[in-house]
Structure 1
Amino acid sequence: MSDPVAEIDPQRWQSTNLVGLPAGLIASVEFNAHPLVLNIAGARETHRGLFRLLAEAQGMAEAAEIFRHYLEIAFGLTSPTPEMQGAERRRFRSSYLKLLEGWGFDANGPQGAVLKGWVESRFGLMPTYHKAPLERFLSPAWVAYLEEKFSSRFHNNCIHAQLDLLYEYCQWAIRRFGQPARDHARLWRGVNRHDEQMVVEGRLRCGECVVRLNNLVSFSTSRERADEFGDWILEAQVPAVKLLFFPGLLAKAPLAGEGEVLALGGNYLVRASYA
């Protein structure tokens, strides 16, 4: 007999991941209050050369250039040159930068589906929203998400390995330079659509509540900027170990000019205020 709670609670559908901690723990308010270091199995070991080079960086700008150059070589991300011929010149190679750029345009687009799928694979956190609430499996919303998540357009060129390195590089930069925070970053999120985040405990109007955010979610580094994206402002203390991207992490990166931060989701204790 099926468990009706499991059917409507995506966090209970899957627990396997590559970070060695239960997905339910990573998604919890308790984890946010007392975070543990997360490392994706094999990512650093496979690319020891990258982190040897990064160890010599004297600042974020130099580290960002090292990271960009390494991934260009390792995954063939350089632009086509006149010397390339035929199919090689036309070949589309997925890149972490293209995914970030697509996320900036629409977090519910194909690039967003690939990013959410990567979080699902590496951290065991199930998405809760993609164009529509992801509830019963297999609903039409789930089918649409799966089709985009596995689309060869953006799901090639070892894209998960690229994202693994992006996360590990982000965590290395936080520990090395303390940006944007060593333990917790105070961040804001503007919301209008209540179906993209579910109130788990309390009420928004009470000023403090627990909300369940999607498995990958955008925050802003300033309350004023978050105000542009919704009438309700959620303020959260986001553990640094949940960050995937922050302004200044990459050289000439998408999202950088908007003060946008990408973080792993789950349950968050937030202060809610009406803008």
Structure 2
Amino acid sequence: MATEDDPERWYCTNLVGLSSSLLASTAFNRHPRSLCIHGTRAANPGLFRLLESCRAQDEAAEVFQHYMALQFNLADSRREAGETGYRSSSYVELLRGWGFDSSSPQGAVLKGWVESRFGLLPVFHGERLERFPSPAWVRYLEEKYHSRFHNNCIQLQLDMLYEYCQWSLARFGDGSRNTAGHVSLWRGSNDCECQLVEGRLRDGCCVMRLNNLVSFSSRPDAAEVFGDWLLQAAVPHAKMLLFPGLLADPVLRSEGEYLVIGGCYEVDTHRGWPH
């Protein structure tokens, strides 16, 4: 039975107008609904007017990058960093940090944003996040609130990235040939048994509770280097934060990486991938 020190009993904020328990469920993944972060598009009508004139994803990516640079003074922050050592935080910097290590301070900020906007708690950051308090939880909380990454409306930047991603998926798709509304993606993992919710890995299909933000790949050969087990899941567009080609910056493109809001997923499991 869950107790008060079990994080699953905690209250979490949610800005998408749908219960967090539903968002975390396999039922939502099977029958997804469009999501929007309250107030983000209304507060940035100029961006979405400009995007509507774009005829291709690469054109939209340039528009988004330029708008974000002006809105958050990101171009000048790079110059100031060289002159003063101070640098304003940016969404691209967080994504780069995630690419090096998803359990980095940048990864904690991204997981904290998912917590705040979707109400989904992380289950892993360097180690399993279980009962509270614990050293693992203390480290996560310290890193997700680190002032180094909260000096330039970083939560709003991520809100805009999500809304831009959702706009792009609705307008251009993600460039794959997958079923409308879902993309079949791959993830390599060794840390599987502790994520099981229903079924067994060796049965070829099961339900797993993934972290609140996870990386997937469009290619099984790229995913298999990250673990002995290959997980294949149908990921709804509504749970995507980033897909290859979304941004003009080449961040996270090398493995065809997608950043996906987590929760419980029905996955097909493969012990390695036959070449």
Give TM-score, length-normalised by structure 1.
0.93
Q: Tell me the equivalent position of 1:111.
A: 106
Question: Considering only aligned residues, what root-mean-square deviation do their CA atoms show, in Å?
Answer: 1.9
Aligned to 2:89: 94
Q: Are residue 44 (structure 1) and residue 44 (structure 2) matched?
A: no
- Deviation (angstroms), 1:13: 1.8
CA apart distance, 1:199 = 0.2
Corresponding position of 2:119? 124
In 1: Cα distance, 2:201 partner to 2:78 partner: 53
Rounded to whole Å, the distance in 2 between the matches of 1:55 and 1:239 is: 23
The 3-state SS of whatever aligns with 1:91 is coil
Alignment deviations for residues 121-141 of structure 1 (CA, whole Å, 9 cap, x no partner): 000000011011111111111
Moved more, 15-24 or 209-218: 15-24
Question: Does residue 260 in structure 1 map to residue 257 in structure 2?
Answer: yes
1:28 lines up with 2:25 in the alignment = yes
**Offset at residue 88 of structure 1 (A):** 7.7
Decide which of 161, 167, 175 is 2:170's aligned counterpart: 175
Give the SS at the match of 1:138: coil
Answer whether contact 1:39 1:168 (CA < 8 A) is retained.
yes
Report deviation, 1:90.
3.8
Q: Which whole-Å deviations, capped at 9, do the CAs of 1:82-127 have from their partners, x for residues lacking one?
A: 7x7x998543100000000000000000000000000000000000
Q: Could you state the TM-score of these two structures normalised by the residue count of structure 2?
A: 0.93
- The CA distance in 2 between the partners of 1:87 and 1:218, in whole Å, is 31
- Equivalent position SS for 1:4: coil
Tell me: CA distance 1:81–1:173, structure 2 relative to 1, closer, same or farther (3 Å).
closer
Say if 1:6 and 1:171 are closer, same or farther in 2 by CA, change over 3 A. Answer: farther
Other-structure match for 1:246: 243
Distance in 2, matches of 1:78 and 1:145, equals: 30
| Whole-Å separation in 2 of the counterparts to 1:13 and 1:242 | 22
CA contact (8 A) 2:77 2:87 kept: no
Q: 1:11 to 1:174 in 2, by over 3 A?
A: farther
SS at match of 2:75: coil
* Structure 1: tracts of 5 or more residues without a match: none
Letter in 1 for 2:73: G
Match of 1:185 among 163, 183, 186: 183
Partner of 2:203: 206
- CA distance in structure 1 between the partners assigned to 2:88 and 2:248 by the alignment: 19
In 1: Cα distance, 2:68 partner to 2:190 partner: 37
Asked if 2 retains the 8 angstrom alpha-carbon contact of 1:15 and 1:22, the reply is no
Distance 1:251 1:81 in 2: 17
Contact between 1:12 and 1:24, CA under 8 Å: does it hold in 2? no
User: Please, which runs of 5 or more residues in structure 2 have no aligned partner?
Assistant: none
Contact 2:174 2:244 in 1 (8 A): no
Matched residue, 1:76: 73
The sequence identity of aligned pairs, in percent, is 55
* Aligned with 1:220 (options 217, 228, 236): 217
Match of 1:194 among 187, 192, 195: 192
- The verdict on how the C-alpha distance between 1:55 and 1:211 changes in structure 2, with shifts beyond 3 A counting, is same
Q: Distance in 2 between matches of 1:168 and 1:274?
A: 36
| Distance in 2 between residues matched to 1:31 and 1:80, nearest whole Å | 40
Provide, for residues 38-76 of structure 1, a one-character-per-residue CA deviation record: whole Å limited to 9, x for no partner: 100011111110000000001001000000000000001
8 Å CA contact 2:198, 2:207 repeated in 1 = yes
C-alpha contact 2:219 2:255 (8 A) present in aligned 1: no
